[in-house]
Amino acid sequence: MEFRPSSNSEIDSWKEVTLIYNSALKEIETRLEILNDEFQHIHRYNPIEHIKSRLKSPESIVKKLKRHGYESTIENMVNYINDIAGVRIICSFTSDIYQIAEMISNQSDIKILSVKDYIKNPKPSGYRSYHIIVSVPIFLSDRSADTKVEIQIRTVAMDFWASLEHKINYKFEGNAPVFIKNELIECSKIIYELDERMLSLNEEVLKYNETAEMQR
């Protein structure tokens, strides 16, 4: 499955769309790196462990369009697919997730289009993550283009679970045995509890350090 442009102008348009979405990924990544550096400067702590980015393949875009009943056109791709450009932010603690989300929302020229909190409201599969769809302006030589980017924010533990679930679904083509699905749900609960305990432990360490500083 692939896009089938009917003219050279459409081929140029597809190349331009790809350029814009790649530029949007670079824009978001740069802003996140700056925010992380600033946080380190002020608080002596980096909330972001690492950042991953990807551009959705044409095949995946076509599948998603067809699944939602749309023709495979560039116009429909831009209008109806929100996760063509995707950025994943990996953090240490759940508190980092909401702090980063707030920092992103405070960027004056970034528009928050939608928010899905799968941490407080996990999917039935056990999937947990924080999703934001944003629109970021990309400045070209003759105009600017507001471009959608999906940002996923999760802890290292949540990312490990999501990676394993993806591999299992791929292996079983989305039809994993019930006992495996149930085990994944249980693992998700354990991971959430672990994240909460690690966050609590980190807060105790910070309190201990603050008390030790005051006693000096």
Instruction: Write the DSSP symbol of residue 119.
Output: T
Please identify which of the residues 27, 38, 150, 186 carries the catalytic annotation.
150
Task: Please state, in angstroms and rounded to a whole number, the distance separating the CA atoms of residues 110 and 96.
Answer: 20
User: Percent helix, strand and coil across the chain, each rounded to 5?
Assistant: 55, 20, 25
Task: Please state, in angstroms and rounded to a whole number, the distance separating the CA atoms of residues 113 and 207.
Answer: 37
Quote the distance between the C-alpha of residue 211 and its chain's center: 36
Return the CA Rg of the chain. 20
Quote the distance between the C-alpha of residue 191 and its chain's center: 19
Read off the tokens for 13: 């348009």
Measuring CA to CA, how many Å separate 139 from each of 24, 71, 143, 203? 10, 29, 6, 42
Measuring CA to CA, how many Å separate 29 from each of 33, 51, 54, 117, 146? 6, 7, 11, 21, 16
Q: Is residue 27 annotated as part of the catalytic site, yes or no?
A: no
Nearest to 100, CA basis, from 177, 12, 38: 38
Q: Which residues are catalytic?
A: 150
